[in-house]
Amino acid sequence: MTGWSISLLFSAFALSTFASSTLHAMEYVEICNRENSCKKFSRLIMGTDHLKQSDWTYDGEPEKNDEEVYKILDESARLGINLFDTAPIYVGSVENRLGRWRASRRDLVLKNNFYASADLNPDRKLYALSKGGFPFDLYYAKHLAPGTHSERLQEELQRLGVLTSPTTSLNNVPPGTYASRLYGSGEQIKQRVLEEITNSSSQLNEDITIYLMHRDDGDFVGFQPLEREQTPVRNLMEALSAPEISGKYWMLGWSNWKTDRVNESIDLAGENPALAKPAFNSPYFSLFEMSSRSIHAGGIQVTHQEMMDPNFQKGIKLSPYSPLGGFSILDKPEPRWENTKKAAKKKYDEGDAYWQNVFRAIFTKANEARWKRVVKFTGEFNAKHGTTYTIDQMINAYALAHPRTDFLTVGPITLEQLRRTVGSLKLARMLTPKDLEYLYSGVPSSSSEWTE
């Protein structure tokens, strides 16, 4: 499972009605590289992980064909989204399909009449954000990949009887068991990443705009990290800055990296112009915080307090992935916390290892209280402003309104969800710091109208 495998979960709480201000001009953020080449990216980044997935919003749901996928991608571009998040491991070979769609729309996106408004997508280009650095999934691989792996991982696999030394074959591997791709010598790390990025580059027409290491160095068993020393940040950056790799992307970034390692990478790039400068970091961030248990192996979240601090991870653009933007497989029979928790618990009891992990990460008393607050708050907000914003829009707006949210990666999979998600941009500008604090902690200011 990937970070996006949970990215649609809490849109199970979305209401199906449209907001009165569904369509609104997209916002853009300009980023420049060391050569002062600049690009303007949409604040909403379109995630593609579940665009083709069957059985996602309802039982028996067929996999979308290319025409249906293209229709959603076309509408996202028409509404001004110009940065698309993908990966080689995403469902339905969607990275390849994104590449083919971009190629087929290259001329179309140059025309003003393609867009909902002529001022959208000022660069008139469709940019791709792809990922590498995925750890080897040993549950499916059934063997250790050639090369060096940490002694700590091998010891744990031997202790569990999964690995019998000196062979590399694995037996009865627990779900959520991963071996780092970013461990070993600099040459080994470079070769492992080069294999990934070469494949992605081919699928995306040799045009990767932003390339993220989707995990930091780490090994996992049963979704839980094994304690060991990590590969030094400098070593990783040197490997990723090698011409064979850096020549295949416009800008480098991280996904699910801890703050100290992110800050170290910023400092290293500032000290050494030969190192690729990381421009993006994509952590988990939502009104629904993870417990001490991550929603997936290696998932790293940032908090409300951190995202309210203008100096948090200063020097890098933050593009959190949001657990909203579309409907989940649990969006039935109606969006309620109790229904979603019950459906997740059913999967937990059936032995689904992924949902056993998610259930413990998300369904906490604190998140249940936040859910109740956002339902109440949205109703009162709409009554005050004469609007019809939906719950999913409010939670997306909550994430967007934080000072350190430069971008938000979302995953709508229908036209209705997509349009509502774009509508959350306007709502975000209406929320105050006091609103955000109330939604998160339930603590109103003395002048606030929002009370428990």
Domain at 346, CATH number: 3.20.20.100
Whether 166 and 215 map to the same domain: the answer is no
Q: Does some domain include residue 446?
A: no
Q: What is the mean pLDDT of residues 78-83?
A: 98
Q: Does some domain include residue 102?
A: yes
Q: Is the peptide bond before 333 cis (omega within 30 degrees of 0)?
A: yes
- The domain boundary, picked from 151, 179, 207, lies at 179
The pLDDT score that the predictor gives to residue 323 is 59
Whether 272 and 421 map to the same domain: the answer is yes
| Neighbour tally for 415: CB within 10 Å | 13
Question: What is the C-alpha radius of gyration for the chain, rounded to an integer number of angstroms?
Answer: 22
Q: Does some domain include residue 451?
A: no
What is the reported pTM? 0.91
Q: Which residues span the domain enclosing 252?
A: 3-131+185-441
Q: Is the peptide bond before 310 cis (omega within 30 degrees of 0)?
A: no
pLDDT digits (tens, 9 = 90+) for 281-300: 999 999 999 999 888 889 99
> For residue 69, is pLDDT > 60?
yes
Whether 25 and 145 map to the same domain: the answer is no
Separation between Cα atoms, residue 211 and residue 377, nearest integer Å: 38
Q: Does some domain include residue 403?
A: yes
The pLDDT score that the predictor gives to residue 286 is 93
- The domain boundary, picked from 147, 179, 211, lies at 179
> Sorting pLDDT into bands at 50, 70 and 90, what band is 20?
very low
Whether 160 and 214 map to the same domain: the answer is no
C-beta separation of 25 from 318 below 8 A: no
Whether 285 and 397 map to the same domain: the answer is yes
pLDDT digits (tens, 9 = 90+) for 145-197: 999 999 999 999 999 999 987 788 999 999 999 999 999 999 999 999 999 99
Q: Does some domain include residue 450?
A: no
> Sorting pLDDT into bands at 50, 70 and 90, what band is 92?
confident
- The domain boundary, picked from 120, 154, 179, lies at 179
Q: CB within 8 A of 10, min separation 6: which ones?
A: 286, 288, 323, 324, 328, 340, 362, 392, 395
Whether 256 and 363 map to the same domain: the answer is yes
Q: Does some domain include residue 48?
A: yes
What's the total number of domains in the chain? 2
Whether 263 and 383 map to the same domain: the answer is yes
In terms of residues, how long is the chain?
452
Which neighbouring-strand residues pair with 301?
A: 284
Which neighbouring-strand residues pair with 137?
A: 178
Whether 86 and 19 map to the same domain: the answer is yes
pLDDT digits (tens, 9 = 90+) for 192-220: 999 999 999 999 999 999 999 999 999 99
- Per DSSP, the chain holds a count of helices (H) and strands (E) of 15, 14
Whether 357 and 283 map to the same domain: the answer is yes
> For residue 5, is pLDDT > 70?
no
> For residue 246, is pLDDT > 80?
yes
